[in-house]
Structure 1
């Protein structure tokens, strides 16, 4: 069951907050809570479509892998963000693996419920199209960052992004290797950048956790004076 705090978090999401009241109501009515421990999988590449999800608390990790078992981290999904809509549009299987990076609590709206809602309310397709287009915009922005930002700016921007969705937390739960994967930098470079930021008093480093101590100063690092 969704409680009041769950609903408040869902309402913080940009996409959901801008949906029609009818779609908001229908999604909440059909939502079920899913809880995972850190490291457990939500779904894997090539699994059948099972609906859409929204993170209520914790962080989900999106990744791919090869036959040798090497994992490539592609993205992290923080709270209030909906995902899983790609398979809704093309009817295909899941494109990547999704794991619980931390203890994870989500809401799930099943494929069956979604198909029924979309059949009864075709206008909902456009609203899910907006969700998909937001992901495309984010992808283009990420590609631009890879081309234009310095290594330190890439790291700072990603750390800030992961904490922006939860005003009550300044912690980012990931390993240095995962941060290296997501920013397309080497682990050695990541370590050097994090150590430098730590010496400046902007972050504190722990095992698979980074605490942001000064968000304002970290933001200033993204826009150095000309």
Structure 2
């Protein structure tokens, strides 16, 4: 399903004064109050269902998106259009800045991994803000820096850490407050860029040490400290 199929809400007066979780987590929470107020008034809330695409690689830029609830998968078409999962994003994550600021087509695709509530800051509103108040270019470049650091960090993990360390890091990142990770072993293998046959013995080992518990379509983190011990393994 394309983004046009999502549920779009007109902001209520209350929503115009609140950014929800985006006011407390991620890029926008660190920006000036007046910038946050502009975002709350200019943005539109959108709800996406699991498996629904927010946008595709090659689409024209239409603004940026902030994740207020749920989880997102960031994918890149590598070989013959086959998507590679680059990142599983959590609350506070913002995306779309690269294409928006450079006025180029999207290079990645963005899909809802679970039901997602997102704030969309439209292209027209961003351009008007920057035309009227160029000082806010710096705010958007801060977002670009955050996302560059995420990409560089993921690359560094692949090049320097063991697969067990990367599995532990991803499970720690994905764990929600209930300590459940709603992800299949196949999805986890895609995020890490490995075959399931390589992932399976590591999950079996972690389950054998009671660090995790394997269930149907989810992995429960039983002992975060046990995962922490392996997360820097080289």
Contact 2:66 2:93 in 1 (8 A): yes
CA 1:171–1:118 in structure 2 vs 1: closer, same or farther (change >3 Å)? farther
Instruction: Provide the C-alpha distance between the structure 2 equivalents of 1:68 and 1:133, rounded to a whole number of angstroms.
Output: 30
Aligned to 2:136: 124
2:233 aligned with 1:221: no
Of residues 95, 116, 126, the one that matches 1:114 is 126
Q: Secondary structure at the residue paired with 1:38?
A: coil
1:87 maps onto 2:96 in alignment:
no
Aligned to 1:9: 21
Aligned partner of 1:155 in structure 2 is 167
Question: SS of the residue aligned with 2:60?
Answer: coil
Shift of 1:12: 2.4
Q: State the shift of 1:66 in Å.
A: 6.2
User: If the length of structure 1 is used for normalisation, what is the TM-score?
Assistant: 0.89
Take 2:74 and 2:179, find their aligned partners in 1: how far apart are those partners? 21
Conserved? CA contact 1:101–1:173, under 8 Å: no
Residues 49-128 of structure 1 mapped to structure 2, 5 A cutoff = 49-65=61-77, 70-128=82-140
Per-residue deviation, 1:162:
2.4
Residues 64-88 of structure 1, C-alpha deviations (whole Å, 9 max, x = no match): 3368663321111111111111112
Give the Cα–Cα distance (whole angstroms) in 1 for the partners of residues 79 and 45 of structure 2.
33
Q: Is the 8 A contact 2:84 2:193 kept in 1?
A: no
For residues 72-131 of structure 1, what are the alpha-carbon distances to aligned partners after superposition, in whole Å with 9 as ceiling and x for unaligned? 211111111111111121101111111111111111111111111111111111111011
Paired residue secondary structure (2:139): helix
- C-alpha spacing 1:156/1:46, structure 2 compared with 1 (3 Å): same
Deviation of the 1:203 alpha carbon: 1.4
Aligned match for 2:59, one of 47, 50, 60: 47
Count of matched residue positions in the alignment of Structure 1 and Structure 2: 220
Aligned structure 1 segments of 4 or more residues deviating by more than 6 angstroms: none
User: In 2, Cα distance between the equivalents of 1:7 and 1:42?
Assistant: 20
Contact 2:27 2:92 in 1 (8 A): no
Return 5+ residue gaps in structure 2 as ranges: 1-10
CA RMSD of aligned residues (A): 2.1
Q: Which runs of 5+ in 1 are unaligned?
A: none
- Cα deviation code 1:200-226 (max 9, x no counterpart): 1111223332221222221122257xx
